[in-house]
Structure 1
Amino acid sequence: MTIRHHVSDDLIVSYASGALAEGWSVAVATHLALCPSCRRRLAAAEHIGGELLQSMPAEAVAVESWTAVSARLHQPPQRPAAKPVGASTEGRGVVLPEPLRSYAGGDIASLQWRSLGRGASQIHIRTADPETKVRLLRIPAGKPVPEHGHGGRELTLVLSGSFRDGDEVFARGDIEDADGDLTHQPVATPEADCICLAVTDAPLRFRSWLVRAIQPILDI
């Protein structure tokens, strides 16, 4: 597996610092599970962050600060941790690496998909993050998604199959980072259905009036 499209520097730094919202963190952690190169970038960012903290002058803190820190230590982690995919896992045909598999409640074969029409389907992934929507998408082989723009940011991580967007091809582990400047129509390649993880912070802007009319029903 050769990954050609990686997580941006701003996402790596925010993830390393724990400042990234949960929805984006799920996408970043899943990419990290598949991408040794970005795991090395994350380690470098964490190292630099640690060095910066060590170089800062000490400051007096309130007595109750330890109580607040202790309470936070007993809370569930806010940053999903990537678990690198091993060769044995890949060999068993596992599609969803951790932490995504736990968020979804299982691997692809055990999940309940909701039809979007024309063979496409989706699964909403629940998080505690009100800023983003996280979903799995299945696009039939050789079929396009409706042409659309973005009201905000969209991360699309390929988990199985591949899609073409313009001159670029995105395969397993590749992540596409789109913003409000991009209008596009990705097309699943003909070899197999394309399964992706998509995270957005605003509704998509579809060109088709028919898709816009049913958009609230489909929740996309």
Structure 2
Amino acid sequence: MTMHDINHHLTDKLLMAYSAGALPEAFSLAVATHVSMCDDCRARLGAYESLGGAVLERADTVAMAPDSLDETMARIRNGAPVVNTPAPRRRGVLPAPLCDYVGGDLDDVRWRSIGMGVKQAILPTSRDATARLLFIPAGAAVPDHGHRGTELTLVLQGAFVDETDRYGPGDIEIADEDLHHMPVADIGADCICLAATDAPLRFRGVIPRLAQPFLRI
């Protein structure tokens, strides 16, 4: 799944951290999903990975035990056989990195209503950050909120508009503590996003604040 009209990309800082394996799992999922959709960010990531490989080649070596190779080969021989099965081509809405977490495509997502027609599905990731799929009906709005940390929001279907710009399929919004916004889904189609956060959102409304602990937002 490749998009050619993506206008909002990952920062160099995020791509470098992903390449170095330094991101929380939820953020890594968001980056991997965007990279699978974006030729530009995929090329930039490849450059950082090549640079990292060159640095490793120049790094000092560490002495290993004499029998390290033999032990490694023995573990390989005694392990489970590897079956190379070609992955089926996917033609659904969700890119491959997300399909692995969902166990399929949109029909397999276990949505939970969070009010006003908006639904979410929290994905299984490590606890240092949270990843969720969001379903926002066309024309509906997410409650006005700010951020206590960083939020990555990747559009998979439809589009939304907020105080900063319009975000369509493949676009990723990077929000921090300076951004307070109220995303609204475009009229044309329901909006489906992948959102990753490393801290709870900061809602202005009383009702969203009361529901927040139960919805884990």
TM-score when normalising by structure 1: 0.84
Code of the aligned partner of 2:141: P
Q: For 2:62 and 2:17, locate their aligned partners in 1 and report how far apart those are by CA, in whole Å.
A: 26
1:37 aligns with 2:34: no
Percent identity of paired positions between Structure 1 and Structure 2? 50
Determine the structure 2 residue equivalent to 1:141: 138
Code of the aligned partner of 2:101: Y
- Cα offset, 1:59, TM superposition: 4.0
1:16 aligns with 2:19: yes
Alignment match of 1:55 (pick from 58, 69, 72)? 58
Specify the structure having the higher radius of gyration (Cα). Answer: 2
Find the residue that maps to 1:32 and give its secondary structure: helix
Determine the structure 1 residue equivalent to 2:175: 178
Determine the structure 1 residue equivalent to 2:106: 108
Where structure 1 has 5 or more consecutive residues not aligned to the other structure, the ranges are: 75-87
CA RMSD of aligned residues (A): 2.2
Q: For 1:60 and 1:170, locate their aligned partners in 2 and report how far apart those are by CA, in whole Å.
A: 47
Find the residue that maps to 1:177 and give its secondary structure: strand
Determine the structure 1 residue equivalent to 2:117: 119
Where structure 2 has 5 or more consecutive residues not aligned to the other structure, the ranges are: 77-88
Q: For 2:23 and 2:148, locate their aligned partners in 1 and report how far apart those are by CA, in whole Å.
A: 19
Aligned length: 199
- Cα offset, 1:62, TM superposition: 5.2
Q: For 2:13 and 2:97, locate their aligned partners in 1 and report how far apart those are by CA, in whole Å.
A: 21
- Cα offset, 1:55, TM superposition: 2.7
Alignment match of 1:214 (pick from 194, 203, 211)? 211
Q: For 2:164 and 2:19, locate their aligned partners in 1 and report how far apart those are by CA, in whole Å.
A: 32
Code of the aligned partner of 1:46: E
Code of the aligned partner of 2:15: I
Code of the aligned partner of 1:211: P
Matches within 5 A, 1:57-136: 58-61=60-63, 63=65, 89=90, 92=91, 94-127=92-125, 129-136=126-133
Deviations 1:142-192 (A, max 9, x none): 111100001111000000000011251101111001111111111101001
Determine the structure 1 residue equivalent to 2:7: 4
Code of the aligned partner of 2:6: I
- Cα offset, 1:216, TM superposition: 1.3
1:168 aligns with 2:165: yes
1:28 aligns with 2:31: yes
Code of the aligned partner of 2:13: D
Find the residue that maps to 1:135 and give its secondary structure: strand
Q: For 1:95 and 1:120, locate their aligned partners in 2 and report how far apart those are by CA, in whole Å.
A: 18
- Cα offset, 1:63, TM superposition: 3.2
Code of the aligned partner of 1:147: D
1:152 aligns with 2:157: no
